[in-house]
Amino acid sequence: MSSSTTSPAPAPAGNRPRRGPGVPTGFVAAAVAVVLGVAGLIVGARDDAGQNTPGAAAASTAPAPPVNGTTVGDLTVYDAYIRQPASPDVAAAYLTVRNDGKTADRLSSAYCGAAGTTSVHADSAAMQPGDEAASTPLQVPANATVSLTPAKGHIMLEDLTGTLKAGDTVSLLLRFDKAGQVLLDVPVISITAPAPGGATS
Amino acid sequence: MRTLLVAAAVLGTVALSACTASSQAAPPAISAQPTPQGTYRGLELDPPQPRPTFTLTDTAGKPYDFAAETRGVPTLLFFGYTHCPDVCPTTMAGTAAALRGTPEPLRSQVRVVFVTTDPARDTGPVLAAWLRNFDPDLPRKFVGLTGTVAQVEAAQAAAKVPVATENGQTHSAEQLLYGTDNYARVAYVSGSSPDDLRHDLPLVAKGA
């Protein structure tokens, strides 16, 4: 959801999605995860109005340049971070991309020296069950802002070459189809730190 | 399992949150029934789900009877795996954050149980080391449980969450919160704010 420009279906504040009776259990459990995802966005919008929630980020194309952004072509990448991993083997990087251009772009691949394997796992409406292990490019539509946020997309760092601790900085190379390559210095934040930009989690 | 995934897709949803690439939804096809004045900030479960019964192995290698160990106390139950880069650590970090903001004695009462969906890799010591990243300052340590694949799948079925696939890497995103009345009336996913859980904990502690 966060990686598209589609805002969640509007719902009046105070309305709570809930599991309805009469739906087969297997389906119900399935439905909950997704409904919850929408609820999370709604709650985020309510509690953090004006902040950079995924929904708000997607809806906003405000021209104010992010202070911590790195620009390549028409793209600005900002609020990048890696949360200190609890696992010794795997970590995830999150970021936001703003496209001020008139053409769509795509983040297809990434490279990180701190990991043996780096792959982009963005959400995709085209993703089918069973494809979870595959890398999914992050689509960056024209004049739009998209984010990789927890549970909705990330850059996966596998086979870590060392220990990542809060306070470290990791070099992350992003390869966009049109804008080209950009090298970021990504901070590692603590397991409990709030995410940069005010995004949930 | 495949049937579950396909059924979920038909509904316009992907039920299971993979840590390698997480769940996504077009506008949900399910009718989300609004409640004008929700009691909880998490997702309200209707009907409520009874506390499940299963026995697995804790990180010390001892049997852990979930129903007996947690009966009558607020309990958070989540299924995931430690090699998950995203959903699982986010969920456990959020849980810890919510508990840090919860006053005593409730903070010490709440049980947090993490059941691995990847028992081949998540041995007791691996689970314990991973969980200690989140709860070092909390009075009650998080409980990590493992078992055979059949056992952890049975536990998921007992908790009425979709059974994980892909060697446990595609798993339910639900974290269930059972109250003192031994029913879960509310659940969470990563991405929901720790404030929501902190808000709801005292409610389920009162048996609301």
Q: Is A36 in Cβ contact with B192 (below 8 Å)?
A: yes
Query: What value does the mean pLDDT of chain B take?
Result: 82
Confidence category of residue B127, pLDDT binned at 50, 70, 90: very high
Highest mean pLDDT among A152-156, B43-47, B128-132: B128-132
Between B1 and B187, the higher pLDDT residue = B187
Between these two residues, A192 and B187, which has the higher pLDDT value?
A: B187
Residue B4: predicted pLDDT: 30
Nearest-angstrom CA–CA distance, A46 and A14: 9
Per DSSP, what are the bridge partners of residue A184? A172
Mean pLDDT of B158-170: 82
Say whether pLDDT at B205 is over 50: yes
- pLDDT computed for residue A63 by the predictor: 57
Asked if B7 has any chain A CB less than 8 Å from its own CB, the reply is yes
Q: pLDDT tens digits, residue range B77-91?
A: 999 999 988 889 989
pTM above 0.90, yes or no: no
Q: Write out A173-199 in H/E/C secondary structure.
A: EEEECCCEEEEEEEEEECCCCCCHHHC
User: Which of B122, B131, B156, B191 is closest to B1 using CA atoms?
Assistant: B156
- pLDDT band at B75; cut points 50, 70, 90: very high
- Start-to-end C-alpha separation, chain A: 15
A199 vs B132, residue with greater confidence: B132
Rounded Cα distance, B47 and B142, in Å: 27
Tens-digit pLDDT string for chain A (201 aa): 444 443 344 444 444 444 444 333 333 333 333 333 333 222 223 233 334 434 334 444 555 666 778 999 999 999 999 999 999 999 999 999 999 999 999 999 999 999 999 999 986 333 333 444 568 899 999 999 999 988 788 999 999 999 999 999 999 999 999 999 999 999 999 988 877 765 443
CB contacts of A127 in chain B (<8 Å) are 14, 21, 24
Nearest to A16 among B5, B35, B172 (CB): B35
| Binding-face residues of B in 49-78 toward A, CB within 8 A | none
* pLDDT the model gives residue A134: 67
Whether A105 and chain B come into contact, CB under 8 Å, resolves to no
d(CA B25, CA B23): 7
In tens, the pLDDT along A102-144 reads 999 999 999 999 999 999 998 633 333 344 456 889 999 999 9
Structure tokens at B126: 């691996």
